[in-house]
Structures are given as structure tokens and as C-alpha cells.
Amino acid sequence: MTDPVAGWRSLAGAAVLLDGFHALKHAVRFRAEVPVAVAVDRAAALALADELAPDVRDELAALLTEVPEAVYASLVSRPHPTGVAALAVRPPREANLARLGQTPRSAPVVLLDQPRNLGNAGAVIRLAAGFGATGVVTTGTLDPWHPTVVRGGAGLHFATAVERLDIGELPPGPLYALDPGGEDIRGVKLPDGAVLAFGSERSGLSDGVRARADHLLALPMRPQVSSYNLATSVAMTLYHWSAGGGA
């Protein structure tokens, strides 16, 4: 793209903001379509690539255009310490739904039931990508592709299937919902095709997801401790699945 600023402004609002070097690195690594990428210091960004992402260094070199700091600051609402930003094309909803609905699955789907915190949602997507989960789906009003979520997920939305769904659109598979009153997860083996549901920290599972749950599971927790952070709960559950624990 010969004029990155003009290209940026033409795409803003219709593309996903990749905020910082690491988000861009992961998006490129997982084959996102990135039409425009800018850096305040292109040489410094490529030095980071040499150190942290040599596998995609050439692709980053072809993408990155250096722009003045004032121009960069005008393109993003909150400048990133690495001085790098890009716009990526969001995967088609139909493709994500097909990926989520495919059976048999080799890894669970994570369901965030009416999440509230954008940063927590991003952290969950990052965890899910790290564990190789099939995808992360949300119910409710939070947009899992919000720029703050993508920033929290370090661009790893492109490593898994991320969509907001109605309850009637949930992927197939047995639904295991995390709830303090459920069966101790340590005695349960989670199947690869499971949907793992987590309620919001404030109100827990919605009535709709609770009614659809095939199993209620509880994480071990010291008495008088109210709850775990959402991302912590997801990490513990995915680790239990990946370790093959349970009966």
C-alpha cells in the first residue's frame, strides 16, 4: 500500500486493530490478512522481529511502513510502547462457525457466558490459543473482537475461532459448566469435544446456560474465598483437560 495513512483511514472501523508488535507478530504468524502496518521506528520493530519472531521477520519487513510519531498517535487511541500498529481483516463469521461446529473435535470450545471485562476476555483468548482450544465463544453484549480484547489477546484471535453467539447457536458437544456447587473437577475427565462454560465473576452462569448444562463442575478452592479470576478459572480447566486428569 503506497500511502499507509490513507489506507488506514479507509479501513478504520471495518478492520481489526492490532495494537503493538506482539499482536501483529501473532496475527501474521497465524495467517491473518494484514493490509496495512505502521511503526514509529521500523528498524527497532524489525530488531524485535529478529529477536522474538524470526519465523515471520520477512513478512513483517514487507508489511511495516515507518511513520512519524505524531501520525502514529493520530491513528490509535492509546499508543503502544512498541510504537507498532496494524489493521487486519476479521475472519468471516461463516468460517468460524464451520470450525466451531465441526465434529469430532480434537480440543474443547471455551464459552464465556455474558462476560463483562474486556481485558479478561482477551486473556482468555490468549490462554485458549496457547492450549490449542478449538475456539472461544461469548454470549451477551461484549464484542470479543473489541480492540481492547484483541490487545489483551495479543493478536491470538487469529490462532483460534472467536465469535459472539446466541445460546441457540452454541457448538455441539457436551456442555460442562463451571459452578461452585458442581462436582469436583478433579474427579472428571473432560472430553476433547466438550464445551466449557464460564459465567461472569459478578453473577455466575446465566439461567439459559445453566439449564443447558450437561454437567456442573467446581474448581478446588479454599473455603471463604469467593471466586477465581475468570482467566484463572479457564486456565485451570484447560490445564486439567490437557493433562487428561479425572476418572
Domains of the chain as residue ranges with CATH:
4-88 (3.30.1330), 93-242 (3.40.1280.10)
Does position 1 have pLDDT exceeding 90, yes or no? Answer: no
Please, which pLDDT band fits residue 86 given cuts at 50, 70 and 90? Answer: very high
Please write the tens of the pLDDT for every residue from 159-177: 999 999 999 999 999 999 9
Does position 212 have pLDDT exceeding 80, yes or no? Answer: yes
Please write the tens of the pLDDT for every residue from 121-158: 999 999 999 999 999 999 999 999 998 999 999 999 99
Closest by alpha carbon to 9, among 101, 97, 74? 74
Q: How far apart are CA 135 and CA 132, in angstroms?
A: 8
- What is the model's pLDDT at position 210? 93
Strands 84-88 and 175-184: unpaired
Q: How far apart are CA 168 and CA 174, in angstroms?
A: 14
Percentage of the chain modeled with pLDDT above 70: 99
- What is the model's pLDDT at position 142? 95
CB 169 within 8 A of CB 194: no
Does position 80 have pLDDT exceeding 90, yes or no? Answer: yes
- What is the model's pLDDT at position 88? 96
